[in-house]
Amino acid sequence: MSTTPEPAMKVLLERGSSVAWRGASTLGSSALQVLSAGMSPEKEKLLRYKASYLSGVALTKPRGISLELSTACNLHCKICHQWKDNREKQALDEHDVKGIIDDIAAHFPHAVLEFSGQEPTMNAPLLFFALEYAQQKGVQTALNTNGMVVDRAFAERLVAAEPHHISVSLDGVHAQTHDYLRHMRGSHAKVVRAVQSLVAAKESMRSRSAVAVTTVLCDTNLEEMPEMHAFAASLGAESLNYNAFVLDNSYFLAPRERYEECEFWVKEQRLPVLEGVVQDILALKEAGARPAITNDARQLRNFPEYFRNKANFSKGKCLAGYNYFHIHKLGDVTVCGKGPFLNVKQYPLHEIWHSYSYYRTRQLIKQCDVPCLNNCFTLL
């Protein structure tokens, strides 16, 4: 006889567990307020993370939430697997997105809601609805885009919603490099147009939104990475972020490649080049050069060790389960593909955050052996 609960019973069990875990979180938070009396905000935050990690009880709230709005992408990037997700199910609609934003406004008011892939601009009506409704509710937003459809008119509408930042992906100073990685000729020129359009729209509308560039550091573009800073500056970008390449950024869509067989992984013989590149980037960061490099210096220093040690790379304790989650385009909530896989069409976000399924997910994250230096988490 199956021991798997029927759907209705599963909902009741999850909601019951959410009430219990919320109670534990409230008690724990009250105790921490006493213990942290007189502490600086930074030390108090660190104490919350440590207590959460050790107890498994969420005594923190997410600082970042990413939400997929589109079921399609207009690029087939070689360094990304998200575009391979062609599952046919009922995607999120305006009603669902409105509920998500309402829940964030009520329970996670300090979180940044970031609209992400596959490519959010491919569903422009839902994207603009989400940006504008979040603005009405006082929820801070951000956008990641490949820039393919962002012309001046599109940029002006994006900037009008005052997202915290709009980040455009740019993976090469030279068109040949970017176009190869993004698997589309002419994509580099469109990214340049997108960044320049966003900067012009921001200036003409006197918007507070920051225009950012994000680049994936890999073997193909390694030598261009220090030069990327000057190139981003020439486009008018205000910040630049370097993401270390990961073998599978989808966590479930592609079989994990062997490091030795992946053309984008920085191999042993190329590590001296990487070390020099990192030193150049760190020098720019420490000098306060504009655009601002948003990576933490510790993260940048770990790039060579990350590529050198591969599956054996481990630094600190990952807190992804306590400060971040991702909402899939079909509504499932997940962290790094490990769960809790509860759907926002059935459960409010704040119940998911405190559910027993999320507790189990946090335990799985503790056991994670996948090396990464993603920017969505904090290391103790």
On the CB side of 212, CA atoms within 13 Å amount to 22
Grade residue 40 by pLDDT with cuts at 50, 70 and 90. Answer: confident
Strands (E), the chain: 64-68, 112-116, 140-145, 165-169, 210-217, 239-244, 292-293, 324-327, 332-334, 340-343
Question: What tens digit of pLDDT does each residue of 303-335 get?
Answer: 999 999 887 887 777 888 899 999 998 899 999
Is pLDDT at 153 greater than 80 in this prediction? yes
Distance from the Cα of residue 316 to its chain's centroid: 19
Model pLDDT, residue 16:
60
| One-letter amino acid for residue 55 of the chain | S
Cβ burial of 315 (10 Å; 0-12, 13-18, 19+) is: middle
Task: Write down the mean pLDDT value for the chain.
Answer: 87
Grade residue 285 by pLDDT with cuts at 50, 70 and 90. Answer: very high
Q: By mean pLDDT, which of 24-28, 294-298, 364-368, 369-373 is the weakest?
A: 24-28
| One-letter amino acid for residue 309 of the chain | N
Grade residue 249 by pLDDT with cuts at 50, 70 and 90. Answer: low
Q: What is the pTM of this model?
A: 0.87
For CA atoms 93, 98, 101, 106, the dihedral sign is: negative
Grade residue 244 by pLDDT with cuts at 50, 70 and 90. Answer: very high
Residue at token pair 């005594």? 59
The two tokens of residue 149 are 């459809």
Model pLDDT, residue 2:
39
Q: Which domains does the chain have, with CATH numbers?
A: 61-313 (3.20.20.70)
The pair phi, psi for residue 35, each rounded to 5°, is -65, -30
